[in-house]
Amino acid sequence: MQVIRLSALSDNYIFLLSDSQNKIAAVVDPAESEPVIAELKRLDAELVAIFNTHHHHDHIGANQKLAQKFPQLKVYAGIEDKGRIPGQQVFLQHGDRVEFANRTAEVFFVPGHTRAHIAYYFPPVTPGEIGELFCGDTIFAGGCGRLFEGTPAQMVNSLSKLRSLPDHTRIWCAHEYTLKNLRFALTVDSQNQELQKRFSEVIAMRQNQESTVPSLLGLEKKTNPFLRWDQPSLQRIAQTTDPVQTFAKIRSMKDKF
C-alpha cells in the first residue's frame, strides 16, 4: 500500500491509498474531486473506497462527485456521523476493522474535534516497521484540532488512545498547520530543545515549500504540547497537575493565539 499526499483547498491534504498490483485505490477525506481524479488517471486505478474521518465539508466535499464517477465504491465513516456523511454505506465503531490492499486498519473512536470523529490505523506489516495513522483533525503536526463538538476530557481520552501507538507511526494529518502550531508550542514549552530544533527545521522546510506531513508519533510525543499534558513544564503553565485541566488551559491559549 502506497500513500500519496494530494494538496487541496488552501491547506488541506487528501491521502490516496494505492494498490498498484490490483490497480485500485482508496481515498481518505477527499476535500475536492479534481486532484483525486487526476491522480487516479495517472495511476490507471479504480477508486473502491472513501474513508472519512468526520463530517466537516473540507473532508467530505468530493464524496458525491467521486461516488457518481465510481459507483461501485463504498463510503466508510463513523456510526455517530450517520446522516452527516454524503453516500455513507459503512458505519464504523471503535474496534472495527477495514481492509485495503491486503492491509487491515483498526478504527479508533476519537471524539473531541467533533462528537463522531474516527481515525484509521494501519499497523506495520512487520513489527518494528512504520505504521500509518489517518487521524483527520484530531492530531496535527505540532498541534491538535479545535474542540467544536467535544469536551477537553473527550479529547484527552482520544489523544491518549493515539498516543499509545508505536513511536514509528506516521501521522497523516489533514492540514498544513505545522509552522503556526510550533510557534504557539514555543510559547508554552520554550525550554524544550527538541521543539526548538524542530521549529528551525520546519521554517526551512516551509521556505522551500516542502510539506511537513506526515510526521512521526515519536516526534509528536516530544514536541507537541497537546500530547504532553503530563509534563511539569506545561502543568506549570496551566497551574494544575490535572491532565484534563492542563490540556484545556493549553487548548484555550491556542484558541486565542
Binding site residue list for Zn(2+): 54, 56, 58-59, 113, 137, 175
Q: How far is CA 57 from CA 60, 218, 234, in A?
A: 5, 30, 33
- The catalytic residue among 19, 56, 81, 96 is 56
Q: Is 94 assigned a catalytic role?
A: no
Q: Determine whether 113 is an active site residue.
A: yes
End-to-end CA distance of the chain: 38
C-alpha cell recorded at residue 92: 464504523
Selected catalytic residue, list 19, 96, 175, 189: 175
The partner residues of 27 in beta bridges, in order of sequence, read 16, 50
Our answer to whether residue 56 is catalytic in this structure is yes
- 137 catalytic per annotation: yes
117 is catalytic: no
Active-site hit among 19, 59, 81, 189: 59
Q: Which of 19, 29, 54, 81 is catalytic?
A: 54
In the set 19, 29, 58, 96, the catalytic residue is 58
State the catalytic residue, choosing from 19, 96, 137, 189: 137
The catalytically annotated residue of 29, 96, 113, 117 is 113
- Residue 168 designated active-site: no
Burial 67-95 (b: 16+ CB within 10 A, else e): beebeebebbbbbbbeebbbbbebebeee
Residue 57 annotated among the catalytic residues of the structure: no
Active-site residue set: 54, 56, 58-59, 113, 137, 175
